[in-house]
Amino acid sequence: MADSTASPNPAAHNHADRPVYVIGGGPGGLAAAYALRAQGIRAVVLEKSDRVGASWRRHYDRLHLHTTRRLSGLPGLTIPRRFGRWVSRDDVVRYLEKYAEVHELEIVTGVEVSRVERSADGTGWLLHATGGRELTGRAVVIATGTNHTPRIPDWPGRDTYTGELLHAADYRNAQPYAGRDVLVVGIGNTGAEIAVDLVEGGASRVRLSVRTAPHILRRSTAGWAAQYTGVLVRRLPVGLVDRLAGPVSKVSVPDLAAQGLPRPDTGLYSRVKEGSIPVQDVGLIDAVRKGRVEIVPAVESFEDGKVVLAGGDRIGPDVVIAATGYVRSLEQLVGHLGMLDARGKPVVNGARTPKDAPGLYFTGFTNPISGMLRELAIDAEKIAKTVAKAVRKGQLA
């Protein structure tokens, strides 16, 4: 792995030597770089941190993939069997390091790209990067991911709240919260798992603030992973999947309405298409049924050292952990190119590229029901084949 903080010198390349730049050294970026290399195209990964897999290294300690090992490997290297069916965070990081090493990927660390625009001669892409660098590539793959910048809602009174408030990105394990009263805000997979972790780690009280009740799935039922179903149904009509999922959910997941988690009134796949992934159960159902995790309404504001909930109740936890997601932060990078929708999400993904922006690709900005790593692997090979075809036709200088 050519892993260095030195930057390639764009002046040294004529058009034929221009690499494809891959922005982001996570799974999507590494997979794209390998797939491009396999097509005979030079790919250079630009990673702003000092190591690959930076966002994975920041996740909480107990995290495991919710997708199976077999369906989570990237092109050209399977995940070792010894990592088990549900791969841990640390083993994901080990796998990404090994992936970069085995494939001898060209990776430049410590370089953050701030803006991407068409090159002056219109034949490629100009990247503005750390230290005033200007890099010119024949194509660009943006793989900075959805876990880019932690987002804490601008709740009224938040700035004057004197209690302990942190984003889930800063949560590692339950040890600092043993014996303490903790409020977790947000019931995505991260919030749900942190709540369970806190209960098991000895927090004196754990409340989980929920604005919209999620769909909850068993990660695996009688050995059948929920991901397998996701792969099978991903191409089916949304309405049909919604109708199929309803009865299955009622059989496999108990009614938690009495505990504050009613079944959602919108379909599972409809929610996925809106960007809301189901919560995979890693202990939440049991913890809620037993009252160890208490469901409370959404947070409305902070006032006089208290947290004000929807409905007016005020509570005074020792710690508030905001599992309130991330923003993609693509506006500065490509916002001027007209590539983003109203939510800041790329309007194209994978091998598709806008007609007025040939050679600009995005990967890893969807929430596929069939598993993120699986789709990143598929996207990487599609992007590489599309780029190789365009190069052969002389469409990418």
Note the pLDDT of residue 16: 61
Using the predicted structure, report yes or no on whether residue 123 has a pLDDT greater than 50: yes
Note the pLDDT of residue 397: 65
Question: pLDDT class for 229, splitting at 50, 70, 90?
Answer: confident
Structural domains of the chain, with CATH:
2-148+328-392 (3.50.50.60), 152-322 (3.50.50.60)
Residue 28 is given by DSSP the state H
Note the pLDDT of residue 8: 45
Residues 387 and 139: their CA atoms lie apart, in Å, by 8
Note the pLDDT of residue 270: 73
Q: Is the CB of residue 352 less than 8 Å from the CB of residue 358?
A: no
Residues 346 and 217: their CA atoms lie apart, in Å, by 28
Q: Please tell me the pTM assigned to this model.
A: 0.88
| Structure token digits, residue 244 | 């199929």
Note the pLDDT of residue 3: 46
| Structure token digits, residue 61 | 């300690």
Residues 19 and 27: their CA atoms lie apart, in Å, by 19
Q: Is the CB of residue 225 less than 8 Å from the CB of residue 68?
A: yes
Per residue in 181-212, pLDDT (tens digit) is 999 999 999 999 999 999 999 999 999 999 98
Q: Is the CB of residue 86 less than 8 Å from the CB of residue 218?
A: no
Nearest to 62 by CA among 257, 200, 208: 200
> According to DSSP H, which parts of the chain are helical?
27-38, 54-58, 89-102, 189-200, 226-233, 238-252, 268-273, 284-289, 331-334, 372-392
Question: pLDDT class for 10, splitting at 50, 70, 90?
Answer: very low
Using the predicted structure, report yes or no on whether residue 288 has a pLDDT greater than 80: yes
Q: Is the CB of residue 315 less than 8 Å from the CB of residue 296?
A: yes
Q: What is the rounded average pLDDT of the residues 369-391?
A: 94
Range scoring the smallest mean pLDDT among 14-18, 225-229, 249-253? 14-18
Q: Is the CB of residue 148 less than 8 Å from the CB of residue 331?
A: no
Question: pLDDT class for 26, splitting at 50, 70, 90?
Answer: very high
Give 14's contacts (C-beta < 8 A, 6+ positions apart): none
Question: pLDDT class for 11, splitting at 50, 70, 90?
Answer: very low
Question: pLDDT class for 393, splitting at 50, 70, 90?
Answer: confident
Specify burial of residue 320 (Cβ count, 10 A radius: 0-12, 13-18, 19+). buried
**Torsion angles phi and psi, residue 303, rounded to 5:** -155, 125
Question: pLDDT class for 380, splitting at 50, 70, 90?
Answer: very high
Residues 341 and 339: their CA atoms lie apart, in Å, by 7
Q: What is the rounded average pLDDT of the residues 292-312?
A: 96
Q: What is the rounded average pLDDT of the residues 212-217?
A: 88
Per residue in 133-171, pLDDT (tens digit) is 999 999 999 999 887 789 999 999 999 998 999 999 999
Residues 15 and 6: their CA atoms lie apart, in Å, by 21
Q: What is the rounded average pLDDT of the residues 347-374?
A: 89
Residues 29 and 52: their CA atoms lie apart, in Å, by 9
| Structure token digits, residue 252 | 């496999």
Residue 206's Cβ-side half-sphere holds a number of Cα atoms within 13 Å equal to 27
Q: Between 179 and 216, where is the model more confident? A: 179
Fill in the amino acid letter for 12.
A
Using the predicted structure, report yes or no on whether residue 6 has a pLDDT greater than 50: no
Range scoring the smallest mean pLDDT among 32-41, 62-71, 230-239? 230-239
Residues 177 and 202: their CA atoms lie apart, in Å, by 8
- Mean pLDDT, the chain, rounded, equals 90
Note the pLDDT of residue 13: 42
Give 247's contacts (C-beta < 8 A, 6+ positions apart): none
Most distant pair of Cα atoms in the chain: their distance: 67
Question: pLDDT class for 12, splitting at 50, 70, 90?
Answer: very low
Using the predicted structure, report yes or no on whether residue 7 has a pLDDT greater than 70: no
Q: Is 322 helix (H, G, I), strand (E, B) or coil?
A: strand
Per residue in 41-89, pLDDT (tens digit) is 999 999 999 999 999 999 999 999 999 999 999 999 999 999 999 999 9
Note the pLDDT of residue 376: 95
Note the pLDDT of residue 240: 78
SS (H, E, C) 71-120: CCCECCECCCHHHCCCCEHHHHHHHHHHHHHHCCCEEEECCCEEEEEECC
**Ramachandran assignment for 165, one of left (phi > 0), alpha (psi -120 to 50 degrees), beta (any other):** beta
b/e burial code for range 261-279 (CB count within 10 A of at least 16 → b): beebeebbbbbbeeebbbb
Q: What is the rounded average pLDDT of the residues 307-320?
A: 96
